[in-house]
Homo-oligomer: A and B are copies of this chain.
Protein backbone atom coordinates (compact mmCIF):
# COMPACT_ATOMS: atom_id res chain seq x y z
CA UNK A 1 0.00 0.00 0.00
CA UNK A 2 1.38 3.46 -0.84
CA UNK A 3 1.87 6.10 1.81
CA UNK A 4 -1.06 8.49 1.61
CA UNK A 5 -0.74 12.24 1.44
CA UNK A 6 -0.96 13.99 4.80
CA UNK A 7 -4.03 15.89 3.64
CA UNK A 8 -6.03 12.65 3.64
CA UNK A 9 -5.35 11.93 7.29
CA UNK A 10 -8.64 11.95 9.10
CA UNK A 11 -10.61 12.56 5.90
CA UNK A 12 -13.79 10.53 6.05
CA UNK A 13 -16.73 9.66 3.90
CA UNK A 14 -19.65 11.94 4.53
CA UNK A 15 -21.53 10.84 7.61
CA UNK A 16 -24.72 11.83 5.83
CA UNK A 17 -24.04 9.56 2.89
CA UNK A 18 -23.50 6.72 5.36
CA UNK A 19 -26.84 7.45 7.04
CA UNK A 20 -28.47 7.46 3.62
CA UNK A 21 -27.57 3.77 3.37
CA UNK A 22 -29.91 3.09 6.32
CA UNK A 23 -32.63 4.99 4.53
CA UNK A 24 -32.38 2.81 1.44
CA UNK A 25 -34.92 0.64 3.34
CA UNK A 26 -38.22 1.90 1.85
CA UNK A 27 -40.07 1.43 5.14
CA UNK A 28 -37.87 4.13 6.71
CA UNK A 29 -39.24 7.68 6.58
CA UNK A 30 -36.18 9.75 5.89
CA UNK A 31 -35.64 13.37 6.81
CA UNK A 32 -31.91 12.67 6.52
CA UNK A 33 -31.22 13.40 2.86
CA UNK A 34 -30.74 16.76 1.24
CA UNK A 35 -32.34 15.81 -2.03
CA UNK A 36 -34.51 18.11 -4.10
CA UNK A 37 -37.95 16.64 -4.70
CA UNK A 38 -37.88 14.75 -8.02
CA UNK A 39 -41.47 15.92 -8.55
CA UNK A 40 -39.85 19.30 -9.26
CA UNK A 41 -37.55 17.97 -12.00
CA UNK A 42 -38.45 19.24 -15.47
CA UNK A 43 -38.01 15.81 -17.08
CA UNK A 44 -40.07 16.43 -20.22
CA UNK A 45 -38.55 19.85 -20.78
CA UNK A 46 -35.04 18.45 -20.35
CA UNK A 47 -35.79 15.67 -22.84
CA UNK A 48 -36.97 18.27 -25.37
CA UNK A 49 -33.90 20.43 -24.71
CA UNK A 50 -31.56 17.46 -25.15
CA UNK A 51 -33.18 16.58 -28.47
CA UNK A 52 -32.92 20.15 -29.71
CA UNK A 53 -29.28 20.55 -28.66
CA UNK A 54 -28.19 17.23 -30.16
CA UNK A 55 -30.13 17.84 -33.38
CA UNK A 56 -28.82 21.37 -33.86
CA UNK A 57 -25.34 21.29 -32.29
CA UNK A 58 -24.52 17.63 -31.68
CA UNK A 59 -20.84 17.89 -32.54
CA UNK A 60 -20.12 20.76 -30.16
CA UNK A 61 -22.35 19.33 -27.41
CA UNK A 62 -20.23 16.16 -27.43
CA UNK A 63 -16.82 17.83 -27.93
CA UNK A 64 -14.36 19.34 -25.43
CA UNK A 65 -15.33 22.92 -24.58
CA UNK A 66 -13.82 25.95 -22.82
CA UNK A 67 -12.71 25.60 -19.20
CA UNK A 68 -14.64 28.76 -18.29
CA UNK A 69 -17.93 27.24 -19.38
CA UNK A 70 -20.57 27.67 -22.08
CA UNK A 71 -20.84 31.40 -22.75
CA UNK A 72 -24.64 31.59 -23.27
CA UNK A 73 -25.13 29.86 -19.91
CA UNK A 74 -22.76 32.29 -18.21
CA UNK A 75 -24.67 35.14 -19.84
CA UNK A 76 -27.97 33.75 -18.57
CA UNK A 77 -26.59 33.59 -15.01
CA UNK A 78 -25.29 37.16 -15.23
CA UNK A 79 -28.63 38.39 -16.53
CA UNK A 80 -30.47 36.59 -13.72
CA UNK A 81 -28.30 38.33 -11.09
CA UNK A 82 -29.13 41.65 -12.76
CA UNK A 83 -32.85 40.96 -12.94
CA UNK A 84 -33.37 39.37 -9.52
CA UNK A 85 -30.69 40.90 -7.30
CA UNK A 86 -29.86 44.16 -9.03
CA UNK A 87 -26.26 43.00 -9.42
CA UNK A 88 -24.05 43.88 -12.37
CA UNK A 89 -22.09 40.71 -13.11
CA UNK A 90 -19.85 40.35 -16.16
CA UNK A 91 -20.30 36.91 -17.77
CA UNK A 92 -16.49 36.80 -17.92
CA UNK A 93 -16.55 36.76 -14.11
CA UNK A 94 -18.54 33.52 -14.06
CA UNK A 95 -16.84 30.12 -14.06
CA UNK A 96 -19.05 27.07 -14.58
CA UNK A 97 -18.17 24.29 -12.11
CA UNK A 98 -19.05 20.62 -11.77
CA UNK A 99 -21.66 21.32 -9.12
CA UNK A 100 -21.01 23.92 -6.47
CA UNK A 101 -19.19 21.23 -4.50
CA UNK A 102 -16.38 21.64 -7.06
CA UNK A 103 -16.45 25.38 -6.48
CA UNK A 104 -15.59 24.67 -2.84
CA UNK A 105 -12.72 22.41 -3.85
CA UNK A 106 -11.33 24.98 -6.29
CA UNK A 107 -11.67 27.89 -3.89
CA UNK A 108 -9.88 25.94 -1.17
CA UNK A 109 -7.19 24.78 -3.58
CA UNK A 110 -6.50 28.31 -4.74
CA UNK A 111 -6.66 30.01 -1.36
CA UNK A 112 -5.96 27.74 1.59
CA UNK A 113 -2.54 26.73 2.89
CA UNK A 114 -2.33 24.15 5.66
CA UNK A 115 -2.83 25.96 8.97
CA UNK A 116 -4.59 29.02 7.51
CA UNK A 117 -7.38 30.20 9.81
CA UNK A 118 -10.73 29.73 8.06
CA UNK A 119 -13.98 30.94 9.62
CA UNK A 120 -17.23 29.02 9.26
CA UNK A 121 -20.69 29.17 10.78
CA UNK A 122 -21.64 26.95 13.69
CA UNK A 123 -23.40 24.82 12.50
CA UNK A 124 -21.74 24.93 9.07
CA UNK A 125 -22.31 23.23 5.73
CA UNK A 126 -20.82 19.72 5.82
CA UNK A 127 -19.82 19.66 2.12
CA UNK A 128 -17.72 22.76 2.69
CA UNK A 129 -16.17 21.32 5.83
CA UNK A 130 -15.22 18.23 3.81
CA UNK A 131 -13.90 20.07 0.75
CA UNK A 132 -11.90 22.61 2.71
CA UNK A 133 -10.63 20.18 5.36
CA UNK A 134 -8.58 18.36 2.72
CA UNK A 135 -6.48 21.51 2.48
CA UNK A 136 -6.05 21.47 6.26
CA UNK A 137 -7.20 24.88 7.45
CA UNK A 138 -7.28 25.87 11.07
CA UNK A 139 -11.03 26.10 11.62
CA UNK A 140 -12.64 28.88 13.62
CA UNK A 141 -16.41 28.79 14.06
CA UNK A 142 -18.98 31.45 14.82
CA UNK A 143 -22.41 30.73 16.34
CA UNK A 144 -25.41 31.32 14.13
CA UNK A 145 -28.44 33.14 15.55
CA UNK A 146 -31.92 33.38 14.00
CA UNK A 147 -30.86 36.44 11.94
CA UNK A 148 -27.25 35.51 11.11
CA UNK A 149 -23.88 35.08 12.78
CA UNK A 150 -22.95 36.33 16.23
CA UNK A 151 -21.19 39.60 15.36
CA UNK A 152 -18.92 39.74 18.37
CA UNK A 153 -17.69 36.21 17.71
CA UNK A 154 -17.30 36.98 14.00
CA UNK A 155 -15.31 40.11 14.74
CA UNK A 156 -12.91 38.08 16.87
CA UNK A 157 -12.71 35.17 14.43
CA UNK A 158 -11.96 37.34 11.39
CA UNK A 159 -8.74 38.71 12.90
CA UNK A 160 -5.96 37.31 10.72
CA UNK A 161 -8.26 34.78 9.03
CA UNK A 162 -7.74 33.69 5.42
CA UNK A 163 -11.44 33.72 4.63
CA UNK A 164 -14.97 33.49 5.95
CA UNK A 165 -17.22 30.80 4.45
CA UNK A 166 -20.99 31.17 4.88
CA UNK A 167 -24.35 30.13 3.47
CA UNK A 168 -26.28 33.37 3.89
CA UNK A 169 -29.76 32.25 2.79
CA UNK A 170 -31.72 29.24 4.12
CA UNK A 171 -28.55 27.63 5.31
CA UNK A 172 -27.78 23.96 5.20
CA UNK A 173 -28.12 22.60 7.89
CA UNK A 174 -29.98 25.20 9.96
CA UNK A 175 -32.47 26.72 7.52
CA UNK A 176 -31.48 30.14 8.91
CA UNK A 177 -30.92 33.29 6.84
CA UNK A 178 -29.02 36.52 7.37
CA UNK A 179 -31.37 39.45 7.88
CA UNK A 180 -30.90 42.63 5.83
CA UNK A 181 -29.32 44.33 8.83
CA UNK A 182 -26.98 41.41 9.53
CA UNK A 183 -25.90 41.34 5.88
CA UNK A 184 -24.82 44.97 6.12
CA UNK A 185 -23.11 44.38 9.45
CA UNK A 186 -21.25 41.32 8.15
CA UNK A 187 -20.12 43.28 5.08
CA UNK A 188 -18.90 46.03 7.38
CA UNK A 189 -16.93 43.56 9.55
CA UNK A 190 -15.40 41.96 6.46
CA UNK A 191 -14.38 45.43 5.25
CA UNK A 192 -12.89 46.37 8.59
CA UNK A 193 -10.78 43.18 8.74
CA UNK A 194 -10.05 43.28 4.99
CA UNK A 195 -11.27 39.67 4.95
CA UNK A 196 -12.03 37.52 1.95
CA UNK A 197 -15.59 36.17 1.79
CA UNK A 198 -16.67 32.85 0.30
CA UNK A 199 -20.44 33.13 0.02
CA UNK A 200 -22.35 30.00 -0.88
CA UNK A 201 -25.88 30.54 -2.15
CA UNK A 202 -27.40 27.26 -3.33
CA UNK A 203 -30.89 27.94 -1.96
CA UNK A 204 -31.30 31.68 -2.60
CA UNK A 205 -33.99 31.13 -5.27
CA UNK A 206 -36.06 28.93 -2.93
CA UNK A 207 -37.64 31.63 -0.76
CA UNK A 208 -41.24 30.90 0.22
CA UNK A 209 -41.67 33.56 2.92
CA UNK A 210 -40.29 37.04 3.60
CA UNK A 211 -38.57 39.38 1.18
CA UNK A 212 -35.73 38.58 -1.26
CA UNK A 213 -32.32 39.90 -0.23
CA UNK A 214 -29.17 40.29 -2.32
CA UNK A 215 -26.05 38.32 -1.38
CA UNK A 216 -23.47 39.98 0.84
CA UNK A 217 -21.14 39.52 -2.17
CA UNK A 218 -22.80 42.54 -3.75
CA UNK A 219 -21.16 44.82 -1.18
CA UNK A 220 -17.58 43.75 -1.86
CA UNK A 221 -17.29 41.83 -5.15
CA UNK A 222 -13.56 42.49 -5.33
CA UNK A 223 -13.02 40.65 -2.07
CA UNK A 224 -15.53 37.83 -2.38
CA UNK A 225 -16.45 34.69 -4.22
CA UNK A 226 -20.12 33.91 -4.79
CA UNK A 227 -21.21 30.32 -5.43
CA UNK A 228 -24.40 29.24 -7.16
CA UNK A 229 -25.90 26.05 -8.53
CA UNK A 230 -28.57 24.65 -10.82
CA UNK A 231 -29.00 21.66 -8.50
CA UNK A 232 -31.96 23.12 -6.66
CA UNK A 233 -33.61 25.08 -9.49
CA UNK A 234 -33.14 22.63 -12.39
CA UNK A 235 -31.73 19.28 -11.23
CA UNK A 236 -28.65 18.05 -9.34
CA UNK A 237 -27.94 15.15 -11.71
CA UNK A 238 -26.36 17.59 -14.17
CA UNK A 239 -23.67 18.66 -11.69
CA UNK A 240 -23.82 22.30 -12.73
CA UNK A 241 -22.73 25.07 -10.45
CA UNK A 242 -20.79 28.30 -10.79
CA UNK A 243 -18.42 30.73 -9.13
CA UNK A 244 -18.58 34.48 -9.51
CA UNK A 245 -15.08 35.89 -9.08
CA UNK A 246 -12.93 38.68 -10.41
CA UNK A 247 -9.47 39.38 -11.77
CA UNK A 248 -6.53 37.41 -10.46
CA UNK A 249 -8.72 35.17 -8.26
CA UNK A 250 -10.74 34.13 -11.31
CA UNK A 251 -7.53 33.52 -13.26
CA UNK A 252 -6.28 31.11 -10.56
CA UNK A 253 -9.65 29.41 -10.30
CA UNK A 254 -9.63 28.77 -14.07
CA UNK A 255 -6.14 27.27 -13.82
CA UNK A 256 -7.24 25.04 -10.95
CA UNK A 257 -10.42 24.07 -12.80
CA UNK A 258 -8.42 23.10 -15.89
CA UNK A 259 -6.21 20.85 -13.80
CA UNK A 260 -9.22 19.42 -11.93
CA UNK A 261 -11.41 18.27 -14.85
CA UNK A 262 -10.63 20.44 -17.91
CA UNK A 263 -14.23 21.70 -18.06
CA UNK A 264 -17.75 20.83 -16.97
CA UNK A 265 -19.86 18.63 -19.27
CA UNK A 266 -20.58 20.36 -22.59
CA UNK A 267 -23.89 18.59 -23.22
CA UNK A 268 -25.10 19.25 -19.67
CA UNK A 269 -24.38 22.97 -20.01
CA UNK A 270 -26.04 23.28 -23.39
CA UNK A 271 -29.09 21.26 -22.34
CA UNK A 272 -29.64 23.28 -19.17
CA UNK A 273 -29.21 26.52 -21.10
CA UNK A 274 -31.73 25.34 -23.66
CA UNK A 275 -34.15 24.33 -20.91
CA UNK A 276 -33.85 27.81 -19.36
CA UNK A 277 -34.30 29.54 -22.70
CA UNK A 278 -37.23 27.50 -24.03
CA UNK A 279 -39.37 27.39 -20.90
CA UNK A 280 -40.99 29.70 -18.38
CA UNK A 281 -38.26 29.47 -15.76
CA UNK A 282 -39.98 31.95 -13.46
CA UNK A 283 -43.05 29.74 -13.28
CA UNK A 284 -40.85 26.68 -12.74
CA UNK A 285 -39.08 28.28 -9.76
CA UNK A 286 -42.41 29.44 -8.32
CA UNK A 287 -43.68 25.86 -8.40
CA UNK A 288 -40.63 24.64 -6.45
CA UNK A 289 -41.01 27.47 -3.92
CA UNK A 290 -44.66 26.60 -3.39
CA UNK A 291 -43.91 22.88 -3.08
CA UNK A 292 -41.18 23.38 -0.48
CA UNK A 293 -43.16 26.08 1.32
CA UNK A 294 -46.10 23.69 1.67
CA UNK A 295 -43.88 20.86 2.87
CA UNK A 296 -42.07 23.11 5.32
CA UNK A 297 -45.42 24.22 6.73
CA UNK A 298 -46.54 20.59 6.96
CA UNK A 299 -43.42 19.79 8.96
CA UNK A 300 -43.83 22.84 11.19
CA UNK A 301 -47.45 21.92 11.89
CA UNK A 302 -46.52 18.31 12.62
CA UNK A 303 -43.77 19.52 14.95
CA UNK A 304 -46.26 21.79 16.76
CA UNK A 305 -48.57 18.81 17.18
CA UNK A 306 -46.04 16.19 18.25
CA UNK A 307 -42.65 17.48 19.45
CA UNK A 308 -41.96 17.94 23.17
CA UNK A 309 -42.13 21.65 24.05
CA UNK A 310 -38.50 21.84 25.16
CA UNK A 311 -37.21 20.99 21.67
CA UNK A 312 -36.39 24.25 19.84
CA UNK A 313 -36.87 24.43 16.08
CA UNK A 314 -35.85 27.06 13.50
CA UNK A 315 -38.37 28.81 11.23
CA UNK A 316 -37.00 28.82 7.70
CA UNK A 317 -38.21 31.29 5.05
CA UNK A 318 -36.88 29.09 2.26
CA UNK A 319 -34.61 26.22 1.37
CA UNK A 320 -34.93 22.58 2.34
CA UNK A 321 -34.06 22.21 6.04
CA UNK A 322 -35.26 22.67 9.59
CA UNK A 323 -32.93 22.53 12.56
CA UNK A 324 -33.90 21.19 15.95
CA UNK A 325 -32.11 21.61 19.28
CA UNK A 326 -32.72 19.16 22.11
CA UNK A 327 -32.32 20.21 25.72
CA UNK A 328 -28.64 20.45 26.73
CA UNK A 329 -27.12 17.11 27.67
CA UNK A 330 -29.21 15.02 25.28
CA UNK A 331 -27.51 13.40 22.30
CA UNK A 332 -29.00 13.32 18.83
CA UNK A 333 -26.76 10.35 18.02
CA UNK A 334 -28.52 8.39 20.78
CA UNK A 335 -31.81 9.67 19.43
CA UNK A 336 -30.90 8.38 15.98
CA UNK A 337 -30.48 4.85 17.34
CA UNK A 338 -34.05 4.90 18.66
CA UNK A 339 -35.28 6.59 15.51
CA UNK A 340 -33.81 3.99 13.19
CA UNK A 341 -35.63 1.30 15.19
CA UNK A 342 -38.85 3.31 14.76
CA UNK A 343 -38.10 3.61 11.02
CA UNK A 344 -37.44 7.32 10.83
CA UNK A 345 -34.13 9.00 10.05
CA UNK A 346 -32.48 12.44 10.31
CA UNK A 347 -28.92 13.75 10.45
CA UNK A 348 -27.40 14.25 13.91
CA UNK A 349 -26.01 17.77 14.10
CA UNK A 350 -22.49 17.13 15.41
CA UNK A 351 -21.11 16.58 11.88
CA UNK A 352 -21.86 20.25 11.12
CA UNK A 353 -19.69 21.57 13.96
CA UNK A 354 -15.94 21.92 13.49
CA UNK A 355 -15.38 22.38 17.22
CA UNK A 356 -16.79 19.07 18.46
CA UNK A 357 -19.99 20.57 19.88
CA UNK A 358 -23.57 20.32 18.57
CA UNK A 359 -24.28 16.94 20.11
CA UNK A 360 -27.86 17.96 20.99
CA UNK A 361 -28.81 19.21 17.51
CA UNK A 362 -30.29 17.61 14.41
CA UNK A 363 -31.15 18.43 10.80
CA UNK A 364 -34.55 17.67 9.31
CA UNK A 365 -35.12 17.75 5.55
CA UNK A 366 -38.65 18.51 4.34
CA UNK A 367 -38.17 18.82 0.58
CA UNK A 368 -38.51 15.17 -0.22
CA UNK A 369 -41.70 13.84 1.44
CA UNK A 370 -45.42 14.64 1.25
CA UNK A 371 -47.45 16.08 4.11
CA UNK A 372 -48.88 12.76 5.33
CA UNK A 373 -45.46 11.11 5.38
CA UNK A 374 -44.01 14.14 7.13
CA UNK A 375 -46.68 13.98 9.84
CA UNK A 376 -46.14 10.28 10.44
CA UNK A 377 -42.34 10.66 10.51
CA UNK A 378 -42.45 13.60 12.90
CA UNK A 379 -44.86 11.66 15.13
CA UNK A 380 -42.45 8.72 15.33
CA UNK A 381 -39.52 11.02 15.93
CA UNK A 382 -41.41 12.82 18.70
CA UNK A 383 -41.96 9.48 20.45
CA UNK A 384 -38.24 8.83 20.31
CA UNK A 385 -37.60 12.31 21.70
CA UNK A 386 -39.99 11.66 24.58
CA UNK A 387 -38.12 8.44 25.33
CA UNK A 388 -34.76 10.24 25.21
CA UNK A 389 -36.07 13.06 27.40
CA UNK A 390 -37.35 10.54 29.94
CA UNK A 391 -34.00 8.76 29.89
CA UNK A 392 -32.22 12.14 30.26
CA UNK A 393 -34.32 13.09 33.30
CA UNK A 394 -33.58 9.74 34.94
CA UNK A 395 -29.80 9.80 34.49
Contacts and interface: CB of A to CB of B under 8 A. Distances in A.
A109 to B, nearest CB: 7
A47 B55 contact: yes
Interface in A62-113: 62-65, 67, 97-99, 101-102, 104-105, 109-113
B2 A255 contact: no
Contacts of A99: 261-262
B43 A258 contact: no
A229 to B, nearest CB: 11
Interface string A35-70: 110100101001100110011001111111101000
Contacts of A163: 2
Chain A interface: which size bin? 35 or more
A101 B262 contact: yes
Contact of A260 (B12, B41, B47, B102): B102
Given A38-B59, A47-B50, A62-B38, A105 B260 contact: yes
Contacts of A143: none
Interface string A134-155: 1100000000000000000000
A239 B98 contact: yes
Interface string A17-50: 1000000000000000001101001010011001
A196 interface: yes
A395 interface: no
A237 B61 contact: yes
B35 A64 contact: yes
A304 interface: no
Contacts of A314: none
Interface stretch (A181-189, A265-273, A342-350, A372-380): A265-273
Contacts of A3: 111, 162
A274 to B, nearest CB: 12
Contacts of A266: 236-239
Contact of A51 (B47, B58, B196): B47
Given A2-B249, A252-B11, A63 B50 contact: no
A382 to B, nearest CB: 28
B237 A130 contact: no
B113 A6 contact: yes
Q: Which residue, of A101, A259, A260, has the highest number of chain B Cβ atoms within 10 A?
A: A259
A386 interface: no
Q: Which residue, of A1, A2, A131, has the highest number of chain B Cβ atoms within 10 A?
A: A2
Contacts of A35: 63-64
Nearest to A41: B62
Contacts of A248: 1
A220 to B, nearest CB: 12
Contact of A237 (B65, B134, B231, B261): B65
In the A-B complex, the 3 residue pairs with the smallest Cβ-Cβ separation, listed nearest first, are: A43-B58, A237-B266, A62-B235
